[in-house]
């Protein structure tokens, strides 16, 4: 079994296209606050479809959780 190439990018189209040139087996989107707004989710969906159109079936969406401790 060969190791799988996985790459991570934001939802910036330039960054996504730069990563796609390496033909990863796994693609991870590192999302931020903007990506979970109404317009951000539409954009994220478009970027996911772009990656899927390149034949990549394994897509991970990573959204960093922020914790705030109240005092």
- What is the per-residue pLDDT across 54-65, written as a single tens digit (0 to 9) for each? 999 999 999 887
Digit-coded pLDDT (tens) for 3-55: 688 999 999 999 999 999 999 999 999 999 999 999 999 999 999 999 999 99
CA atoms within 13 A on the CB side of 34: 5
Q: How many Å apart are CA 23 and CA 9, to the nearest integer?
A: 13
Number of residues that make up the chain: 71
């Amino acid at each position: 079994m060969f190791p799988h190439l996985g790459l991570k990018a934001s939802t910036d189209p330039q960054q996504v296209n730069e990563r796609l040139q390496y033909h990863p087996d796994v693609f991870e989107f590192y999302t931020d606050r903007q990506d979970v707004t109404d317009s951000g989710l539409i954009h994220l969906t478009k970027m996911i479809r772009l990656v899927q159109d390149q034949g990549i079936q394994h897509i991970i969406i990573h959204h960093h959780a922020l914790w705030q401790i109240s005092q």
